[in-house]
Amino acid sequence: MARTLISSGSSFEREIGYSRAVVDGEWIFVSGTTGFDYSSMTLPEGLLEQTEQCFRNIEAALAQAGASLADVVRVHYILPNAAEFAECWPVLRRYFGEIRPAATMFAAGLADPRMRIEIEVTARRSPG
C-alpha cells in the first residue's frame, strides 16, 4: 500500500511543510494537533475547549484515513504547563477511557503562546 498524506487544509501545513497525518499501510501517524479550529482559524482560550478541538481535529484526520479513535494505540500529550494536565483529564477520559492507548505527557513550549495543549496520536487500522 502506498504512503498517503492527509491534510486538514490548514495553512500551517503548507507554510511549515508537513501533513496532518500520514498513512503507511495499516499505520496512521497524526501530527501534533492543537486546538485550532481550521475552518475559522481561531483558537479557543481555555484548556478544556482547546482539548476538545484537538480531538475533533484528530477524529477528522483519522476518518480521512479510514480509522477512528478506537484505532489509536499511542498518544502523546504536550502542555506548556504540566500543572494543568489534571484539568483536562475528564476530557481525555471521555475520548480514551475505554480505548486506553499507551500514553506519555510532556511539558514543553508550543509554537504559539496561546496554545495550551498539543496531542499527537499513532493509530493502527484493523485488517479487513
Specify whether the CB–CB gap between 95 and 123 falls below 8 A. Answer: no
10-residue stretch averages of pLDDT, the chain, 128 residues long:
84 86 96 91 95 97 96 98 98 97 98 96 87
Q: Looking at the domain that runs over 4-124, which CATH code has it been given?
A: 3.30.1330.40
Q: What is residue 69's predicted lDDT score, i.e. its pLDDT?
A: 98
Model-level pTM?
0.93
Q: What is the number of residues in the chain?
A: 128
pLDDT at residue 14 in the model: 85
Q: What is the pLDDT of residue 74?
A: 98
Domain limits, the chain: 4-124
- Give the pLDDT of residue 70: 97
Interatomic CA distance for residues 71 and 27, integer angstroms: 10
Q: How many angstroms separate the CA atoms of 38 and 41, rounded? A: 5
Q: What is the structure's pLDDT at 1?
A: 62
Look at residue 63 in the predicted model and tell me its pLDDT. Answer: 96
104-109 long-range Cβ contacts below 8 angstroms, 24+ apart = 104/75, 104/76, 104/77, 105/76, 105/77, 105/78, 105/79, 106/76, 106/77, 106/78, 106/79, 107/78, 107/79, 107/80, 107/81, 107/82, 108/78, 108/79, 108/80, 109/80
Give the C-alpha separation, 92 to 86, whole Å: 10
